[in-house]
Amino acid sequence: MTLHIPPLPPIILDPIVRLALAEDLGRAGDLTTDATIPPETQLSVVIAARKPGVIAGLDAAAYSAQLVDPALKLDISKPDGSLLSPGDVAARLTGSARSILTAERTMLNFLGRLSGVATLTRQYVDAVAHTQARIVCTRKTTPGHRALEKRAVRCGGGTSHRYGLDDAILIKDNHI
């Protein structure tokens, strides 16, 4: 079963993805790619699963590719929330080889982390499927990545307890 979870809007993705790309590209960009790949070289790659799991983070990966090179084309064949088996192709990326190699690590970092969150969530969801229990996530997220990680939980079939301190009053032992 594939859950349809809408992508995060650019206003949420933009600062997160820009920070990740800026961190990776540093002050001078992708020196190795620029030194070894001719500018006119075109490339087509697949994003495929190595292990069984739930794909998540394609919205952040796609936005990474778009920011590096708007001419890159990402064709998604298995949307976020899809169950993947080893070898299943989730997406194909085509365009400038330089652009693909420059965007690759940031794209894969988002996909790896968020697919891991979605996959683990799915394992817990499946484990309690025979009960009325629901799997919910907390505010204990990676700083700056809350929207991404909360969405990944949804891709895995979970839900959110609360997004921030402004959602509800929750008196805990710290307050007492």
Q: What is the CA radius of gyration of the chain?
A: 18
Question: Catalytic amino acids?
Answer: 140
Describe the chain by its helix, strand, coil percentages, rounded to 5: 40, 15, 45
Q: How far apart are CA 152 and CA 154, in angstroms?
A: 5
The continuous run of DSSP H or E covering 146 comes out as: helix 146-155
The β-bridge relationship of strands 136-137 and 159-160 is: parallel
Single out the residue of 27, 119, 32, 110 nearest to residue 66, CA to CA: 110
The single residue listed with the structure tokens 């693909």 is 100
Cα–Cα distances (Å) from 74 to 33, 71, 79, 91, 135, in that order, read 20, 10, 12, 7, 32
